Amino acid sequence: MVKRLMNHYKRLFTPDVMYYEEQFMYGHREALLHFSQKNNSKLFNTNILLGSIDHGWYYSESVWKLRTKNPFKFANRYVWNDRQSELSATAYRTVAVGAPWLYMLNDLGLEPTNIEDRLPKLKNKVIIFPGHNTGYLFSFDVMGSIEEFKSIIPKDSEVTVCLFWLDFCDPSIRNAYKKQGWKVESVGATLRGSQPDSLNGGRPTVLIEMFNLLKDASLFITDDISTGLFYALSLNLSVQFIETQSLKNFNETWINHQRNNNPQALKNRKGFYSTGVDWASNYFIEIFDTKTHPRKFLDFSWGELGYEAFRRNPNGEKFVWIPNQTTEDSLTRYSKRLAEEKSFLLS
- State phi, psi for 78 to the nearest 5 degrees: -80, 130
Domain shared by 121 and 82, yes or no: no
Whole-number pLDDT of residue 73: 86
Domain shared by 262 and 129, yes or no: yes
**pLDDT, mean of residues 129-149:** 81
Domain shared by 100 and 142, yes or no: no
Q: CA 17 to CA 321: how far, in whole Å?
A: 12
Return the HEC string of 3-70: HHHHHHHHHHCCCHHHHCHHHHHHHHHHHHHHHHHCCCCCCCCCCEECEEECCCCCCCCCCCCCECCC
Domain shared by 272 and 164, yes or no: yes
Domain shared by 138 and 277, yes or no: yes
Domain shared by 151 and 206, yes or no: yes
Contact 38/111 with Cβ under 8 angstroms? no
The count of structural domains within the chain is 2
Beta-strand pair 48-49/321-322: antiparallel
Domain shared by 136 and 210, yes or no: yes
pLDDT at 160 over 70: yes
Domain shared by 18 and 94, yes or no: yes
Domain shared by 180 and 273, yes or no: yes
pTM of the model: 0.94
Angle value at C-alpha 93, between 104 and 234, nearest 5 degrees: 25
Domain region containing 14: 2-109+309-346
Mean pLDDT score of the chain, rounded to an integer? 90
Q: CA 158 to CA 122: how far, in whole Å?
A: 10
Whole-number pLDDT of residue 141: 84
Reported as a single tens digit per residue, the pLDDT across 171-181 is 999 999 999 99
Domain shared by 69 and 177, yes or no: no
Confidence of residue 114 (pLDDT cuts 50, 70, 90): very high
Domain shared by 125 and 264, yes or no: yes
Q: Which of 6-15, 137-146, 165-174, 176-185 has the highest mean pLDDT?
A: 176-185
Task: Tell me the residue ranges of DSSP E strands in 154-203.
Answer: 158-162, 183-185
Task: Identify the CATH number of the domain in which residue 212 sits.
Answer: 3.40.50
pLDDT at 136 over 70: no
Reported as a single tens digit per residue, the pLDDT across 59-70 is 887 777 788 888
Domain shared by 223 and 245, yes or no: yes
Q: Which candidate, 54, 51, 15, 46, places its Cα nearest to that of 30? A: 46
% of the chain at pLDDT higher than 90? 69
